[in-house]
Structure 1
Amino acid sequence: MMWQKYFIALLAAACAPAALPAFAAAPITVSWREKAPYYYYEDGVAKGFMLEKAKQVFAAAGLPVRFASEPQKRIWANFTHGVKNYCSISWYRLPEREAVAQYSIAVHTDQPHAVLAVPSAVARVRAHPNVKSLLADKSLTLAVIDGVSYGPELDPMIAASENHVMRRTVETSAMFRMLAAGRADFLFVDREDWGYLRQKFPELQSLVLTEFTDMPPGLKRYFVCSRDVPAASMERLNRAIASVNARGEAGRR
């Protein structure tokens, strides 16, 4: 009878599990690039202080995720091409990136960059009173990792540099080793990178760190997500970042 079928349908609907929120329908892919000590593989195991922090944040936000290691250019191609349900961890805020992705609140603040030079170029590097003067020296070769941002202030300065510029699409550790082998005279270095890599690769011990007082201040890093990630999910992510950052600050007191 029709009323019996209707009753059975109502009973089945009542017993069905409640619908999950939209953000829990499918895991978000969270990509990261190789950049020790932020995130990297060691003996096949994914490690890094920023990767661990990202795992804490997404867990605190209650967002289901799957982490994946991908090259930087592929990550930003994914954002440009509108890959759905997609995030990536710890990037600088740049206009061209904001055009294709949405940003979280800041998750980390870098130390200012420094200059790393080969011994034969140290005197010429230190002869310059500031970064602008250094980049105007046509006798020096600057090593630059292609596709990587050094921040919104340094990027245009590097683009206008009168140095001979050696651009290579390589990982940070490979570029450091190329510098140590004499392929260039200097590069701009992230302090976290240098602190980790000089311990890992003995051949880097000869390189010399130099600081410039006019170096741009350390930049903030953010998580970025595709435009389709709901506002509610981004709000959960931001609250989790604030909570994890607050715990970190409390632990350093």
Structure 2
Amino acid sequence: MKLVKPVFSGLLLLFALCGVTRPAQGYETLKLLFEIRHPLSYRDVDGQLGGILITPVAQAMAKAGIPFIWVETPFKRQINQVEKNDEALCAVGMFKNKERQKFAKFSATVLRDISRPSVMLAHRNFKPDKSMNLLEALSIPGTRMLKKDSASYGSVIDEVIERSHVNIVSTTAESFNMGKMIAAHRADFIFVSEEEALTMIKTIPDGDKLHIFKPQNMPQGPERYLMCSQSVPDELIQKFNQAITK
């Protein structure tokens, strides 16, 4: 884990809102777990965190008066820490599914990214017919999907994956390294946003071995949430929800 300097109330909002709010009384500093995934989350040239996911969450925390700190954490560890429930923390930008709802609390939607549906970033040897829908593409005999342990792609895609019986190649690698694995043809494809896929093609060694495939009728980008441990008070989540939805 990599701790990022504390962000209490509106400190980050000096750059976004130019405003400061008083921390809510009686709340300990809330840990917000994240990983770098442009355009969702990134550091600018000055090292400041930003992104289409990071910024609205920081704004809502400041508006609600909730003291918090960013903690850079690998994806699988985020899931484990929320489930372990040793302290009050939230993983930022998670998809909601039935399995996760068994051990976690979820906020209101923090990002409804309908303009960035997932695509298949694939090795150039994997070229399904352009007329195929998602289920048909995943059901091609011998197809190998690279999937991060415990990852979800939203309820619609998760259900299609299960129905297709596609061969799953599991990994604990982060997204950029997963792209490298596809370029090395250790699997046929991964699911990422189109913008992230384009970035990988440009920046990954042997990126010319990658291409984007868009199945027919691909679902819109699923909603993302704060996925919080049971130690996070309901009242705090409610305060955040009120701030993020206004």
- The equivalences for 1:23-102 within 5 A come to 24-40=26-42, 45=47, 47-49=49-51, 50-102=53-105
The separation in 2 between residues aligned to 1:208 and 1:233, in whole angstroms, is 43
| Larger Rg, first or second structure (1 or 2) | 1
Q: TM-score, structure 1 length as denominator?
A: 0.75
Q: Output the amino acid matched with 1:83.
A: D
Give the direction of change, closer, same or farther, for the CA distance of 1:59–1:36 in structure 2 (3 Å limit).
same
Q: Amino acid of the residue matched to residue 114 of structure 1?
A: V
Q: Deviations over 1:96-152 (max 9, x none)?
A: 222222211111123322222222222xx1266222222221133322222211222
Which residue of the partner structure matches residue 188 of structure 1?
191
Q: Is the Cα–Cα contact under 8 Å of residues 142 and 165 in structure 1 kept in the other structure?
A: yes
User: Are the structure 2 counterparts of residues 233 and 181 from structure 1 closer, same or farther at C-alpha, using a change threshold of 3 Å?
Assistant: same
Which consecutive unaligned segments of at least 5 residues does structure 1 have? 1-19, 244-253
Residue from 212, 216, 223 that aligns with 1:213:
216
The answer to whether 1:120 aligns with 2:162 is no
Give CA-to-partner distance per residue, 1:177-224, whole Å, 9 cap, x none: 111122222232222422433343363244221212232332000112
- What corresponds to 2:180 in structure 1? 177
Inter-partner Cα distance in structure 1 for 2:87 and 2:32: 11
Q: Could you tell me how far 1:160 is from its partner in structure 2?
A: 4.6
- The aligned amino acid for 1:32 is F
More helix by share: 1
Give me the CA root mean square deviation. 2.7
The CA deviation string for residues 198-253 of structure 1, in whole angstroms up to 9 with x for no partner, is 3433632442212122323320001122333333322221122123xxxxxxxxxx
Give the AA of the match of 1:119. R
2:240 alignment partner in structure 1: 237
CA drift of 1:43 comes to 8.4
Pick aligned residue for 2:204 from 201, 206, 209? 201
Larger mean CA deviation between 42-51 and 91-100 belongs to 42-51
Quote the offset at 1:169 in angstroms: 1.4
What is the CA-CA distance between 1:48 and the residue it aligns to? Answer: 4.0
Shift of residue 85, structure 1, vs aligned partner: 2.0
Aligned to 2:157: 154
Structure-2 separation of matches of 1:55 and 1:199: 30
TM-score (norm 2): 0.77
Unmatched 5+ stretches in structure 2: 1-21
Contact 1:88 1:223 in 2 (8 A): yes
Q: Cα distance, 1:41 vs. partner?
A: 5.8
